[in-house]
Amino acid sequence: MTVVPRTALTIAGSDSGGGAGVQADLRTFFANGVHGLVALTAVTVQNSMGVLGFTEIPADVVTAQIKAVAGDMGVHAAKTGMLATAEIIRAVAKTLGEVHIGRGTRTPFVVDPVAASMTGHALLREEALEAIRTELFPLATLVTPNLDEVRLLTGITVTGAATRRAAAEALLEFGPDWVLVKGGHLQDTDTCVDLLYDGTELIELSGERIATENTHGGGDTMASAITSSLAKGADVPTAVEQAKRFIERCVAESYPLGAGVGPVSPFWRLAD
Ligand code: PLP
């Protein structure tokens, strides 16, 4: 019997090392039984040691990719990762409105506000942060910043429960339905607490900290796992809970590849 899977669209950059960016998104979509669609925004040159540089795709080509797949194949959920420039962000926001993706439509939209690689290389031109806040956040069903991105977006340094909540409230002011403040980068605790908040429901998701150096692509994998569950019809709290359990295994089964930081791995799902 022919089974047509649900579809998820990633609007993001390519990682030549295959561990982050659209490569992480596609392998996560695949591992979760979802057909991945791609609007490529940038081509990065990188390996396990870091990002050597990137070239962005012209904004009209990003727009054309989104329209081509949305009009023909249909999109059950979408996410953004590396968007590179304010011009691309503006084009993505306008196009998503035109193809009815995002808040207020039936197609959930996750914004992972990627600003830099773990190795500290900028993946977003400086002026573009403001565009993420003003153009994309109001369209988002969910935004998924890590603690560095929280600080860049709100000026708040998260050090514990009170600042985590203050940051979530500040991020909600920019207009998304839900905010997930990811606690993985807070190094001085044994647990990783993520806070999911929509202004009324406050959900803490805690998980054990897993000792590994190989966490490349972790943020992308988490956001695309959430997007996969949303594409399959889960509500936001369920999708985030499922993704949290998925990423924990991906981090536990991460592997060294190259001389630097290796990738998190969704391969366990195939073995299962
Ligand atoms: N390269 C691309 C294309 C990405 O989208 C990202 C993160 O979203 C990265 C690199 C950075 O990955 P990491 O934070 O694991 O270094």
∠ CA 204-207-213, nearest 5°, is 130
Band of pLDDT at residue 49, cut at 50, 70 and 90: very high
Q: Which atom of ligand 1 is nearest to the CA of 14?
A: 3
* Helical segments of the chain, H only: 21-31, 59-72, 86-98, 128-131, 147-154, 161-172, 218-231, 236-252, 267-271
pLDDT, average across residues 64-76: 97
Cα(169) to ligand 1 centroid in Å equals 26
Band of pLDDT at residue 202, cut at 50, 70 and 90: very high
Domain residue ranges of the chain, discontinuous segments joined by +: 7-265
Ligand 1: residues within 6 Å at CB? 12-13, 15, 20-21, 44, 81-82, 114, 117-119, 123, 216-220
Burial of 249 (0-12, 13-18, 19+ CB in 10 A): middle
This prediction has a pTM of: 0.97
Q: Give the residue among 84, 219, 203 at the shortest CA–CA distance from 150.
A: 219
pLDDT of residue 187: 62
| Residue 127 DSSP class | T
Q: Whose CA is nearest to atom 2 of ligand 1?
A: 21
Of 117, 148, 221, best ligand 1 pocket probe by most atoms within 8 Å of the beta carbon: 117
Q: Do residues 25 and 224 lie in contact, with contact meaning Cβ atoms separated by under 8 Å?
A: yes
3-state helix, strand, coil in the chain (%, to 5): 40, 25, 40
Q: Which atom of ligand 1 is nearest to the CA of 114?
A: 8
Other C-beta atoms within 10 Å of 179: how many? 25
CA 112/CA 125 separation, integer angstroms = 16
Q: Is the pLDDT of residue 55 over 80?
A: yes
Strands of 7-15's sheet, edge to edge? 50-56, 35-47, 7-15, 77-80, 109-111, 142-143, 178-181, 191-197, 202-208
Cα(93) to ligand 1 centroid in Å equals 21
Per-residue model confidence as pLDDT tens digits over 92-145 = 999 999 999 999 999 999 999 999 888 888 898 878 999 999 999 999 999 999
CA 236/CA 226 separation, integer angstroms = 8
Per-residue model confidence as pLDDT tens digits over 78-92 = 999 999 999 999 999
Q: Give the residue among 264, 261, 230 at the shortest CA–CA distance from 246.
A: 264
Q: Do residues 88 and 41 lie in contact, with contact meaning Cβ atoms separated by under 8 Å?
A: yes
Cα(82) to ligand 1 centroid in Å equals 7
CA 38/CA 29 separation, integer angstroms = 11
Per-residue model confidence as pLDDT tens digits over 161-177 = 999 999 999 999 999 99
Of 62, 123, 214, 265, best ligand 1 pocket probe by most atoms within 8 Å of the beta carbon: 123
CATH 3.40.50.300 fits 7-265, yes or no: no
∠ CA 185-50-228, nearest 5°, is 60
Cα(137) to ligand 1 centroid in Å equals 20
What the block records as the tokens of 200 is: 């009324």
Q: Is the pLDDT of residue 69 over 70?
A: yes
What the block records as the tokens of 120 is: 């500290």
**Start-to-end Cα distance in the chain:** 23
Q: Which atom of ligand 1 is nearest to the CA of 15?
A: 3
